[in-house]
Structure formats: C-alpha cells, structure tokens
C-alpha cells in the first residue's frame, strides 16, 4: 500500500455531499435530517474543564476551615496559621495548574474557588451546630452567601492569572 492511499478520505467524507451508507443512500436521523444537515454544537468552555481537578483543588482548600473547626489553628497560633494555610493553598493551586496541561487555567481556578465556596458553606452549616451548638456561618446569615462566592471566585481568578504567568515563564501558550 502506498503512503498516498493512507491519506485518502473515505467516500462521503466531503462536507458538500451527504453521507451515505453502504447502499449509497443518505443517512437520515429520526428528525429527518441527514448527517450533513445537523447543526454544529459549540463546545462550552465548561466542557473543557477537568472537573476532577476542580474538585481536588476545592478539597485542598477545605484544609483551612477544617484546621479552624478542629482547633488546630488555635493550637498552632491563630493569626499565623490561617494566613500560612492560605498562602500554601494558593501556591499549590497556581503551581498545579501552571505546571500542568489544563486547557482553561483561569476558568479552572475560578471553578475551584466557586466549588470551594459551596463546600465551605455546606461544611459550615453542618459543623457549626455540632461544634458550637447553634448554626453559624453563611447559611445562618444568608446575606453572606453571595460575598463568599464572589471572594472565592476572585481568589480563583487571581490564582488563574498567576498560573498563566507560570505557563508563560515556561514558554507554554494557552
């Protein structure tokens, strides 16, 4: 077989002709549209996200409220521990996405920030009645829900821009 034969397109591949089955008749779906007439679907940027990565990054960020709820922040030093954890989590997010092949770095980290916000709100709603005896946090104060999402989306966006910077330093174009 010659190399030229391997690059030939199959019959019916040309977009100007409707595709045909083995007998030569056009393939039609249940709506009466030939395969040629179907509208093209536009790929949403959300479809290009790595959702397991988003969930993993959001889970990593849950270390901060878990340290606080478990009393580790008090034991290790209250003002410094949350700040150190935030810096470590931020660097982990930036380096994880900046050194990987994630297609949408900024959107991935915004989604991670939003996922973290949702998880932290739920975690606060579940743990505060158990630990404090009464509900506390955004679910007890609904006006705080939107700001929690906005702050964490902004945090994700800033981390995403930094991850893009890491990629550019590496010579990778997004």
Q: How confident is the model at residue 47 (pLDDT cuts 50, 70, 90)?
A: confident
CA dist 152 and 110 (Å) reads: 8
What's the rounded mean pLDDT across residues 39-66?
Answer: 87
Express as a percent the part of the chain with pLDDT over 90: 49
Across 50-55, average pLDDT: 95
Residue burial 54-86, b: 16+ Cβ < 10 Å; e: rest: beebbebbbebbebbbeeebeeeeeeebbeebe
CA-based angle 165:108:93, to the nearest 5? Answer: 60
- What ranges do the domains of the chain cover? 1-40, 45-170
Residues 6+ apart with CB under 8 A from 123: 62, 65, 66, 69
Measured in residues, the chain has a length of 174
pLDDT for the residue numbered 146: 97
On the question of pLDDT at 35 being above 80, the answer is no
Q: Which tokens hold the place of 63?
A: 């270390």
**pLDDT tens profile 78-97:** 788 889 999 999 999 999 99
How confident is the model over 99-108, as a mean pLDDT? 94
Look at residue 50 in the predicted model and tell me its pLDDT: 92
Rg of the chain (C-alpha set): 25
- Encode burial over 123-152: b for 16+ CB neighbours within 10 A, e otherwise: bbeebbeeeeeeeebbbeeeeeeeebbeeb
What was the pLDDT predicted at 32? 61
Element (H, E) at 174: none
Mean model confidence pLDDT for the chain: 83
pLDDT in tens, 121-162: 999 999 888 888 888 888 889 999 999 999 999 999 999 999
As beta bridge partners, residue 28 has: 34
> At a CB cut-off of 8 Å and minimum separation 6, what does 85 contact?
63, 64, 67
């Amino acid at each position: 077989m010659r190399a030229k034969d391997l690059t030939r397109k199959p019959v019916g591949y040309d977009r100007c002709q409707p595709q045909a089955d083995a007998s030569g008749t056009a393939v039609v779906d249940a709506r009466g549209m030939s395969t040629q007439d179907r509208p093209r679907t536009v790929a949403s940027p959300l479809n290009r996200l790595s959702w397991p990565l988003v969930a993993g990054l959001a889970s990593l960020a849950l270390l901060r409220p878990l340290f606080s709820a478990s009393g580790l922040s008090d034991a290790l030093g209250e003002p410094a521990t949350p700040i150190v954890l935030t810096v470590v989590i931020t660097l982990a997010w930036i380096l994880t996405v900046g050194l990987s092949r994630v297609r949408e770095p900024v959107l991935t980290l915004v989604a991670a920030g939003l996922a973290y916000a949702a998880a932290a709100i739920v975690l606060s709603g579940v743990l505060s009645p158990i630990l404090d005896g009464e509900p506390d946090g955004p679910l007890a104060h609904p006006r705080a829900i939107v700001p929690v999402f906005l702050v964490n989306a902004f945090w994700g966006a800033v981390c995403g821009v930094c991850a893009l910077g890491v990629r550019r330093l590496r010579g990778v174009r997004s």
